[in-house]
Structure 1
């Protein structure tokens, strides 16, 4: 494949070079020593070591505001760094920046947090001393995020929380969770409020042990049973919970795309390598036009998806309202990445359908991205709504 010019800043290029040193010099040997794969995840204790080491090297807090040690990267730089992490193939890719439980989970909370919350939650997360997860989804509230049944009721000098949060990424190894609860007296009004809830509080329980179709176990349920928290754990204004959670949804939708495309690059690389080395009928299978066309389509669609991702990043960096475009990127990149993995399985043939083959794993993982972080159907709804809004107003 041809080498392309790096599209980001010199600072981002230097950051990536240093991350490569961390991955090759420390994380790959660590994964080998402990038998860590994409499907056999690290223990909570081992993850803490990785987080603290990443923080010490200046990677973990990349997404934080600059006064808190962040890199100050543009979105273009951010997506390129994240894409590179996933394209490296390390099973620690989601943990280098703390995506599941670290600074990227803080989002708008930095601006909403009180001084007390900064000391108890925000700064410890930024320093890799505490892991946090974000809990919205419930058994009866997924795409309809406002239909929450988990409730927070004021009792005396605190709140009492009851309910179940489901499929919460990072919950098995969290120290605290940001819980979005219903707080209105009238359920029809859908009033929601955000709270910090510490894992060690009585009535806070994590149900784990189930795995996704990709074999990963970093997802769990949070069950709250008469869980009491102080009034000071409320985040921001009452009734602004979903607004706080979804305030960066356009950016966050875009920021899921580089992971998909980094993984799709791995699938394409494996397919090309197999086509060059697997011989049938006296020649490498890459000599057959049917295989060549599969590879050509994979490479072309990957290039198109990357171009869309970078285009949306540039629009957002320029201050444009790119709500529809971000949904387009999430939709197109997730669907494209899965098609690439599907074709990679086809190129590898029998090797591609055996568990233990990387493309077999990537096929399962990339299938999940069409559901995670907003289904393809929800993205289409958002795109159509934005397209039809001017006509409706007229």
Structure 2
């Protein structure tokens, strides 16, 4: 048993560090771009007079950093080689995301806008496994060219975690001799819709509420009549790009369908595991950053004549966070490594519980670590002149949005008790 990371991965991390130091950090320091990361970050990023959307200057800076990474051959790293990527594995992506967030806030990796110089592309897996060749050409390559951006229209105002009870309907309807679908319903929290070219709308086309089958994914162009953005919902961490939307007599042709008729739920679930393990690694890295900053400050800060670090009230909580970080890092890396040894579809049956363990615990841990860092740093830790409040506000969302921790614990319980997963056969015999 060897726990060493591959040497070529370590070499790649060094390469990324050099790229960040020589190209990304100088861009971050240019023209007061640091305002997007220092105490002014929330105001600098948010156009409060325009629905709370991201400011154009902020998104332009992210695009500039992405262009540098694309030119250097890093941005598409996780994508398949046939689409210009480098077949980046789950293990490598987990280690990279862990490394990046350990660096703290910066232009190299800012997940508030799903931005990183090493990109994560769930839409690639979605179109690779379910799209037609024409759709792959349009949306995968078009996505990398930034001519296509697809928002994910699954959640509804009254239906979040249980997508099988969605009320949005897709009804067969022919218009001007062309067969298609009329969409009626409402969606909520459709991230990225302000810059999206299409919305992947999941709607019930057959079956009864609660049925897993009968949900279909339809790709709706942004300018389609009947698709309306009602408002952008302001959140704990601003800016927002999460609208509430209405679909009323919204029609698309049959060619807009992604994947099989009635098989949309499988599409929605097709990339959650790789997304969750990478996001777990990001939360772990951010928790480690909070820990290391707290350790450094506690050694430097003098109180009552000696280092703050000498107080056990400071030591013991940080010991617990450090212990959890070490254990979680081993579980995340091992789970990512095991994912790489399985076929894409087998992960759901063999490892879904481990991915959920990693994700919900990492998201909980980073919130605890950020809160503890504020406490250790005292008043300055509570201020926006330290990054901890931003880390807390940002990562708190993942205890809900990346599959709520209750849903993920339910998944783990299903595996433990044999309702699903590898224990199901033996449990049925008992």
TM-score over 0.5 for the pair: yes
Q: Aligned with 1:168: secondary structure? A: coil
Equivalent residue, structure 1, for 2:324: 301
Q: Which deviations, in whole Å up to 9, do the C-alpha atoms of 1:296-325 show, x marking residues without a partner?
A: 222222111111111111221222721111
Out of 91, 95, 114, the residue aligned to residue 115 of structure 2 is 95
Distance 1:61 1:47, change over 3 A: same
Distance 1:120 1:67, change over 3 A: closer
Q: Offset of 1:187 from its aligned partner? A: 4.2
Q: Offset of 1:45 from its aligned partner? A: 4.5
Q: Aligned with 1:141: secondary structure? A: coil
Equivalent residue, structure 2, for 1:132: 150
Out of 76, 79, 82, the residue aligned to residue 67 of structure 1 is 82
Equivalent residue, structure 2, for 1:384: 413
Q: Aligned with 1:218: secondary structure? A: coil
Distance 1:384 1:170, change over 3 A: same
Q: Which deviations, in whole Å up to 9, do the C-alpha atoms of 1:201-221 show, x marking residues without a partner?
A: 222333454332123423233
Q: Aligned with 2:162: secondary structure? A: coil
Out of 206, 228, 236, the residue aligned to residue 205 of structure 1 is 228
Return 159-168 or 323-332, whichever deviates more: 159-168
Task: Assess if the C-alpha contact under 8 Å between 1:63 and 1:104 holds in 2.
Answer: no
1:182 aligns with 2:183: no
Task: Assess if the C-alpha contact under 8 Å between 1:257 and 1:333 holds in 2.
Answer: yes
Equivalent residue, structure 1, for 2:33: 33
Q: Offset of 1:36 from its aligned partner? A: 1.9
- For 1:159 and 1:385, how far apart are their aligned partners in 2? 36
Task: Assess if the C-alpha contact under 8 Å between 1:254 and 1:326 holds in 2.
Answer: yes
Q: Aligned with 1:160: secondary structure? A: strand
Q: Aligned with 2:399: secondary structure? A: coil
Return 240-249 or 177-186, whichever deviates more: 177-186
- Within 5 Å, give how 1:13-162 maps onto structure 2: 13=13, 16-17=16-17, 19-21=19-21, 22-26=23-27, 28-29=28-29, 32-33=32-33, 35-37=35-37, 39=42, 40=45, 41-43=54-56, 44-88=59-103, 89-90=105-106, 92-93=109-110, 94-96=114-116, 103-156=121-174, 157=178, 158-162=180-184
Aligned alpha-carbon RMSD (Å): 2.6
- For 1:147 and 1:189, how far apart are their aligned partners in 2? 8
Distance 1:356 1:368, change over 3 A: farther
Task: Assess if the C-alpha contact under 8 Å between 2:219 and 2:257 holds in 1.
Answer: yes
Q: Aligned with 2:189: secondary structure? A: strand
Tell me the number of residue pairs that the alignment of Structure 1 and Structure 2 aligns: 388
Q: Aligned with 1:162: secondary structure? A: strand
Q: Aligned with 1:229: secondary structure? A: strand
Q: Aligned with 1:178: secondary structure? A: strand
- For 2:204 and 2:117, how far apart are their aligned partners in 1? 31
Q: Offset of 1:124 from its aligned partner? A: 0.7
Q: Offset of 1:8 from its aligned partner? A: 6.6
Q: Offset of 1:386 from its aligned partner? A: 0.8
Distance 1:62 1:352, change over 3 A: same
- Within 5 Å, give how 1:126-275 maps onto structure 2: 126-156=144-174, 157=178, 158-184=180-206, 186-187=208-209, 189=211, 191-275=214-298
Equivalent residue, structure 1, for 2:48: none
Return 185-194 or 112-121, whichever deviates more: 185-194
1:393 aligns with 2:408: no
- For 2:217 and 2:164, how far apart are their aligned partners in 1? 13
- For 1:212 and 1:204, how far apart are their aligned partners in 2? 23
- For 1:130 and 1:250, how far apart are their aligned partners in 2? 24
Q: Aligned with 1:124: secondary structure? A: helix
Q: Aligned with 1:370: secondary structure? A: helix
Distance 1:97 1:79, change over 3 A: same
Equivalent residue, structure 2, for 1:365: 394
1:349 aligns with 2:378: yes
Distance 1:362 1:128, change over 3 A: same
- For 1:349 and 1:278, how far apart are their aligned partners in 2? 11
- For 2:173 and 2:7, how far apart are their aligned partners in 1? 52
Task: Assess if the C-alpha contact under 8 Å between 1:152 and 1:182 holds in 2.
Answer: yes
- For 2:150 and 2:160, how far apart are their aligned partners in 1? 20
